[in-house]
Amino acid sequence: MAINGSLLDSTPPQANPRLPPVIEWVQLDSVAIPGEREPMRLMQRGHEFKICVGSIELMSNRECTSEAALATLTCTRLQDRPRAKILIGGLGMGFTLRAALTAMGPDARIVVAELVPAVVAWARGPLSHVFEGSLDDPRVEVREDDVKRVIQQVPADYDAILLDVDNGPEGLTRPENDRLYDVWGLKRARYALRPNGILAVWSGSPDRKFKARLQNTGFEVDEIRLRSNGTSGRRHVLWLATHAKGSSAPFAWPAAPGSARVEGNAQAGSRLGRSFAKAGMHSALTPSKRT
């Protein structure tokens, strides 16, 4: 129909053939979390996967550099320890586990504590290609349990404890996870570590109070800031906290909080530099000073 010399066409506009088609997120599964109103959901969009609670994205297979670095940088410090035993708190999408398996030798043992059974089921189901068979490695033991409970079971049992739980010290989902990162949670972790053991903590953001809490609990602390995708993405933080040999009796409850030893910047930088060189991660990591 013509109006004032123009044509009105009721045909809907066609998609621009030069633009890629829009792919929507699809929910593959959801599961209730103890103490949480919103369910945990596994989502897929093409080759991308993410796990979220409500509108909060907990992890995805797009951004995994910092999760892998949590294990890589820790394990480079365990290379001279025969039959090293590592506890990983939180299975996630397996990037920390896979990095630990790559870095450690055939006599290592890695225990993974995962609170939500569905996350383990997803790892063996729709995310199996992401895990690349890591759950079937004979060095791996998966426990469907709260990592807090696992930490408390045996004193001086682990050479390293790696925590990637609920976005770090500032938890986003379960308030109970804060108990991992408070003073008593850190004392329990120190109690579970062997002499010179390492507590490695992943966080979605810096936290000066938590770093001070680590130091006041008797740990020597390296703080590392890095991008979620190596050279781009959000800035994440890793703390590598060492339970110094001789700082407390290995089979006794840790002593009252004390001051961490202060190292000179040159010595701290040299130690971190050696760790980065072994890990081959120079461009991805920005070490901050040890204090």
Task: Read off the pLDDT band of 141 (50, 70, 90).
Answer: very high
The answer to whether residue 25 scores a pLDDT higher than 70 is yes
- Tell me what pLDDT residue 20 has: 72
Distances 178 to 79, 148, 153 between C-alpha atoms, Å: 31, 10, 19
- Tell me what pLDDT residue 94 has: 97
Strand partners, 44: 26, 49
Compute CA 234 distance to the chain's CA centroid, rounded to the nearest angstrom. Answer: 14
The answer to whether residue 174 scores a pLDDT higher than 60 is no
49 vs 231, residue with greater confidence:
49
Least confident window among 32-46, 75-89, 213-227, 238-252: 238-252
Alpha helices in 104-177 (DSSP H): 117-124, 128-131, 147-151
Identify whether the C-beta of residue 108 lies closer than 8 Å to the C-beta of residue 74. Answer: no
Look over the chain and give the mean of its residue pLDDT values, rounded to a whole number.
82
- Tell me what pLDDT residue 245 has: 63
The answer to whether residue 228 scores a pLDDT higher than 90 is no
**Each residue of 153-166: pLDDT tens digit?**
999 999 999 998 87
Q: What is the residue type of 116?
A: V
Measured distance CA(166)–CA(89) in Å, rounded? 10
The answer to whether residue 16 scores a pLDDT higher than 90 is no
Residue 29 DSSP class:
E
- Tell me what pLDDT residue 10 has: 58
Least confident window among 21-25, 40-44, 80-84, 214-218: 21-25
E-assigned strand segments in the chain: 2-3, 6-7, 26-31, 40-45, 48-53, 56-60, 85-89, 109-113, 140-143, 158-163, 193-203, 219-227, 235-243, 285-287
**Each residue of 102-126: pLDDT tens digit?**
999 999 999 999 999 999 999 999 9
Name the helix (H) or strand (E) containing 216.
Answer: helix 208-216
The answer to whether residue 188 scores a pLDDT higher than 70 is yes
The answer to whether residue 54 scores a pLDDT higher than 80 is yes
* Model pTM score: 0.78
Task: Read off the pLDDT band of 254 (50, 70, 90).
Answer: very low
The answer to whether residue 270 scores a pLDDT higher than 50 is no
Give, in degrees to the nearest 5, the angle at Cα 196 between 191 and 201: 70
Task: Read off the pLDDT band of 9 (50, 70, 90).
Answer: low
E-assigned strand segments in 125-234: 140-143, 158-163, 193-203, 219-227
The answer to whether residue 34 scores a pLDDT higher than 90 is no
Average pLDDT over residues 50-70: 90
- Tell me what pLDDT residue 265 has: 35
The answer to whether residue 33 scores a pLDDT higher than 90 is no
Least confident window among 9-18, 175-184, 207-216: 9-18
Task: Read off the pLDDT band of 262 (50, 70, 90).
Answer: very low
Residue 172's nearest CA partner among 54, 64, 29, 69 is 54
